Every structure is written in C-alpha cells, then in structure tokens.
Amino acid sequence: MSQNRVVILGAGFGGLTAARELAKYADVTLVDRHNFQTFLPLLYQVSTAGLAADHVAYPVRGALRGSGVKFCLGSPMMIDHKNKSVKIDSGQVLEFDHLIVALGSATADFGIKGVADFSYGMKSVHEAIAIRASVMRHFEDLCRFPDTTTCELTVVGGGPTGVEMAGAIAELIRGPLRRDEPSVASRMHIRLIEAGVRLLPSFNPKLSERTKLDLEKLGVEVLLETAVQEVTSNSITLGSGEQIASNMTIWAAGVKGSPAIHALNLPVERERLAVEPTLQVRNYPYIWAIGDVSGALGADGRALPMVAPVALQQGKWVARQIKAVMNNAALAPFVYRDKGSMATIGRHKAVVEVKNFRIAGPIAWLVWLWLHLFYLLGGRNKVGTIADWTWNYLTFDRANRHIIDEL
C-alpha cells in the first residue's frame, strides 16, 4: 500500500510550489476554487488600469503540465480523519496520506462596522476589476457635473499593499484622467490612512519617511495615527469621531487566514491554523499548513508575515518534510529566511530593504520591476506584462480603463 498520496488545498504560491516539489515522489492532487493562480502582488495594477486582468492570472493546469500532478476545481468542505479523506464541494472525495492546507488569506475587517459592506478588498482578480470599474465610473460621474463636486478616494492601510495602491491611483489620476479631462481629474482626491505612526512599519523609518514624501509629491494625502471606526458608502468615521467624505474606500488594512479553514474544523489560533514548528497542524501530524493560512512563528516568536516569500519557502519545506516522513527520517522546524521587503510608489520610485541594506529611487524601482516579472507565472504573462509596462512607461497612459464589472 503506497503512503504517498498528497492532497494540497490551494494553488497559490505555497500550494503550487509544494505540488511541483512533491510531484517527483508522490501522487499529488491540487485543489483550488479557481482554475487559475492569481499573482496577488500585481493586482493593484489591474485595479488602476495598468495591466490587463488576464495577465495576473495563470491557468493552474498550465503550471502543472508535465508534472503528473492532478488538478481538481473546487473548495474543501470537510475532512474525514477516520478515512483520511477530504470532501470537495464538487462532490469528489479525495483520499490522502498527507494533506497540505494552503488556502491563503482573506481581507480582515477587525470587526469594524461597514468595512465588509462598503469597502473594496484587494484579494482577487474580481475585486481588482471591480475597483477599476468603480474608479472609472466615479470619474465618468464627475464628468457630468461641470462644477465643484469632488470625489474622495480612500485607501486604508499603510503597508506595502496600501502604499502601492494609493500611488498607482494617484498616477492614474495625474496621468490619463488628467489628459482626458483636466478639470475633472483635479476634483478627484486620493488619501491614504494608516493607524500607526508611519507608513511601511516593517521597513526602516527612513524609508517610511521617504515613501510618505514620494506619495505626497504624487498628490496623495497621507493621514498617520488615524484609526477608522466605521465605513459607509460615502464616508469614513475616524477614531477621533470626525467623519470625512469617502466616495470609495479600499481596504488594505489587514488580512487573516482564509475563512475556509473553519469548515475544516482544525485548531485555529489568531485566525490562522495552529501549527508545530515543523508546519504540522497541532494534533494532526498528517496535516500540514503553509503560507498565509499557517500560524507558523518566526525566530522572534511572532507570527510570520503573510507574504509570498514565506509561502514559497514553506511550500518547498513541507515537500521535504513529507519526503522525510515517507523515509522515516526526522522532521525539522521551519526557519524563515527573510530576503527583504520592497514596495513601489510610482514611476521611478520604490523602496527596497534587505537586512541592513536599503535603497530608494530609480534603482529600487528597477529591482522591484525585475523581481516581480521573475516571479510572474508563464512566459505569456511575462511578455504581456513587459508590453503593458513598456507602453505605460513610454506613453504615460493606462490602456486598461474599461468598466467591465457587470457580467
């Protein structure tokens, strides 16, 4: 009887990496609710008309071609521990010897009123297309009123996601929209709200300061030490009780482990799966959790950040661990190697921090471009993205301004 059936839930950075690694010595089935992987780090460029939506998606079956890994479209419903199987909403029951949970993350609203109903998340192609449509529709709405009506756009959350989004919206307004209708574009305001004392809290304070200045130069109003109490369709109530106008609110203030884990009835801690240092889910040595959904701790005892590099490293790691189990070898604790962080603010502007090495400006921007292209799945997406970027760069235009959200 073979002991090498592995089922992987989620085809994101972690799940897909694990699948490819395990394919050599295991019978692997990869499950995802989409038939494509979404390249989340570039989603904000779809939201702001810089990239074609199809370029940040890649068919999972294309990525698995020749590997022998099977793909199953669906979401997990429940785990049957007795028979070691997982039931998929498509009706399929997948038996496993090892189960890897790599379901990723969802927008966290921290219970703040109105966030779920009135703000846009940044976790899927669908949301990106919806944000793009909403920004462009607000622009068209303003075009109808040759008066002083304004449109207030707010991004909440001063981490890399929020910073990149705010910068890209500012460039969209200052660039193509201003060329379309100068008097209208000047009535669209973009604001970035952060609860902490500085932007990019995980970076060196000097880069935080530089980022703030760069964003302000682009026309972004940056509010620090500003909490959000409630979001409505056209306003935000701040921690101070003050209510400010916000015709469109984008929520980049937090993520949590995918809510899909609750259906699986596994131990959850702080909205992520409770795991041993080996990445095995607590009490379930044949179930592993990697990526955003995994509550693995770093060397400092704090939960690891929900970023792609962690998922990629854990995907490789878990494959080695499962191989060790098959060979009755000893398991080892996962150690995250932080290779640094980066964020782009706009044309020629980015910040990169690798250990004590920090750069900002055009070179950081080129590093950012190169690394994102490198990790983008598929030659076609790379070529298409290079074409889009080159076009945007040379023409200062954004050609994907289409309102295509009501299917």
Residues known to be catalytic: 164
Q: According to the binding rule CB under 8 A, does residue 90 interact with a second copy?
A: yes
Work out how close the CB of 248 gets to a second copy at its nearest, in angstroms, rounded to a whole number: 16
Chain CA centroid to CA 56, Å: 12
Give me the helix-helix angle, 160-172 and 205-217, nearest 10°: 20
Q: Which of 24, 65, 206, 217 binds a second copy (CB under 8 A)?
A: 65
Q: According to the binding rule CB under 8 A, does residue 54 interact with a second copy?
A: yes
**Residue tagged 């692997």 (tokens):** 28
Q: Which of 18, 23, 129, 231 binds a second copy (CB under 8 A)?
A: 129
Which residue, 51 or 170, is less far from a second copy as judged by CB?
51
Residues 23-52 that bind a second copy (CB under 8 A): 34-36, 52
Residues 6+ apart with CB under 8 A from 189: 150, 151, 152, 153, 219, 221
Q: According to the binding rule CB under 8 A, does residue 397 interact with a second copy?
A: yes
**CA dist., res. 202 & res. 31, Å (int):** 33
Please give the single-letter amino acid code of residue 65.
Answer: R
Q: Copy the structure tokens of residue 302.
A: 């704090």
**CA dist., res. 217 & res. 181, Å (int):** 21
Which residue, 360 or 376, is less far from a second copy as judged by CB?
376
Which region, judged by CB under 8 A, interacts with a second copy, from 57-65, 220-228, 295-303, 358-366? 57-65
Backbone angles phi, psi at 217, to 5 degrees: -60, -35
Q: According to the binding rule CB under 8 A, does residue 403 interact with a second copy?
A: yes
Q: Which of 136, 156, 200, 343 binds a second copy (CB under 8 A)?
A: 136
Residues 6+ apart with CB under 8 A from 183: 146
**CA dist., res. 341 & res. 338, Å (int):** 8
- As beta bridge partners, residue 245 has 235
**CA dist., res. 131 & res. 24, Å (int):** 41
**8-state DSSP, 77:** E
Which region, judged by CB under 8 A, interacts with a second copy, from 89-97, 259-267, 332-340, 356-364? 89-97
Residues 202-231 that bind a second copy (CB under 8 A): none
Q: Which of 5, 81, 113, 126 binds a second copy (CB under 8 A)?
A: 126
**8-state DSSP, 275:** B
Work out how close the CB of 123 gets to a second copy at its nearest, in angstroms, rounded to a whole number: 14
**CA dist., res. 175 & res. 401, Å (int):** 12
Which residue, 181 or 230, is less far from a second copy as judged by CB?
181
What are the residue ranges of helices labelled H in 198-337? Answer: 205-217, 260-264, 308-326
Which residue, 330 or 407, is less far from a second copy as judged by CB?
407
- x-or-dash string of contact with a second copy, 229-268, rule CB under 8 A: ----------------------------------------
Separate counts of helices (H) and strands (E) for the chain: 13, 26
Residues 144-163 that bind a second copy (CB under 8 A): 144
Would you tell me how many other CB atoms lie within 10 Å of the CB of residue 307?
20
Which residue, 183 or 283, is less far from a second copy as judged by CB?
183
Q: Which of 25, 71, 336, 396 binds a second copy (CB under 8 A)?
A: 71
Instruction: Name the residues that contact a second copy, by CB under 8 A.
Output: 34-36, 52-55, 57-59, 61-62, 65, 71-73, 90-92, 125-126, 129-130, 136-137, 140, 143-144, 176, 179-181, 378-381, 383-384, 387-388, 391, 395, 397, 399-407
